[in-house]
Amino acid sequence: MKGFRFAGIRAGIKKKDEKDLGLIYCDSPAVAAALFTRNKVVAAPVILGKEKIRMGLCQAVLVNSGNANCFTGERGVEDAKTCSKMVSKSLNISDDHVLVSSTGVIGAYLPMEKFEFGVTEIVQHLSENHIDDFSDAILTTDTCRKIVIENGSIKNKQFSVIGIAKGSGMIRPDMATMLAFIITDVKILYEDLKASLIDVNEKTFNRITVDGDTSTNDTLLTLANGSSDAFVNDSESKIIFQNVLEKVCMQLSKMIVRDGEGATKLVQITVKGAQTKEDAFKASEAIAHSNLVKTAIYGEDPNWGRITAAAGRSGAYVVTEKMDLFFDDQPLVLKGNWLGPDAEKKIARLMKKNEIFITLDLNLGQETDSFWFCDFSENYVKINAEYRS
């Protein structure tokens, strides 16, 4: 994309021989909007980012993996500020327009000597073609890159949206995901970019879960540099842009869940027929977060009792005798009655697929909501038991 450059290098922050320092650079300050974790324990880069993003402009983003710079007190904030100043000095840009982001182990101070070398080195690698290097540098327990590119047109003027994310575990976004960076070449006002980001985030990143944990470092950042002729300046253009943004964020969201630590299956739970929107949200969220549901799916066991029980304890208004439960289009429960072993055998065969769609119809109203989640396997426990070793 015109006007954006990327880099990713190994600075020695991680113990493993992997890239661990990434940089996004825009040739001029871009309109910027961000959302951050709602966790009360927040990392130093989030504290700093909340302050800087109020200006609505950003020209460079430095991201490290291998160290979260969280629970590091005043020293952690000062280290984050120092990293920002290193970037601004190396690129000869305003420090006000530099954001930093971190992901990794909580409680360790940043190895600042690694950053002194790394920042000096990484600016030499900036290129329009190094987006893969940047993506690799921000990963932790991820098993793959997460990059999505979509295009759109506003009044016959072409524009692009590119999304880059990392996330595999500690995923219960309470605003966004672990780390996600969205860049676009549209011309757009800060207020419109922020409004679109909030709305899209609620439909995508806030509707996924891997393990029910909200990170201390969650950051969703969008940069718009206006290098195309596409201008988001009326209701029609706002809808067009937001639809493309949502398409990018939804694909990234599903990639994160599919790459969940130890995951073998991607699942969508849809709760329909709820009396209120809140009820639809509560029931779908409770099912998606249920460890018993997630382990049953891993075992390819159509344990419908776990699904309906999760809805029942969610706080949503439900009536057992009205519930219908489907896997894909195959019914397993109708009006609160199990359809028997033959229906269960059909569902068990469906559950061998890598992607499963479950629908719980409460038959009480018109409201619907859904979550994407994954199963729990033995590997999730193994990965997290060994995370700091």
* Beta strand extents in the chain (DSSP E only): 4-9, 21-36, 57-65, 98-103, 147-154, 157-166, 179-184, 187-188, 208-209, 219-224, 231-232, 266-274, 324-327, 330-334, 337-338, 355-361, 367-374
- Residue pair 357/328 in contact (Cβ under 8 Å)? The answer is yes
Place of tokens 């015109």: 2
- Which class for 17: exposed (0-12), middle (13-18), buried (19 or more C-beta within 10 A)? exposed
- Distance set, CA 187 to CA 30, 158, 225 (Å): 10, 12, 7
Q: Which of 339, 50, 31 has its CA nearest to residue 217?
A: 50
Task: Write out the catalytic residue numbers.
Answer: 177
What is the Cα 31 distance to its own chain's centre?
A: 21
How many whole angstroms separate alpha carbon 141 and alpha carbon 161? 26
8 Å CB contact between 173 and 218? yes
User: How open is the CA angle 384-386-389, to the nearest 5 degrees?
Assistant: 135
Tokens of 273: 């027929």
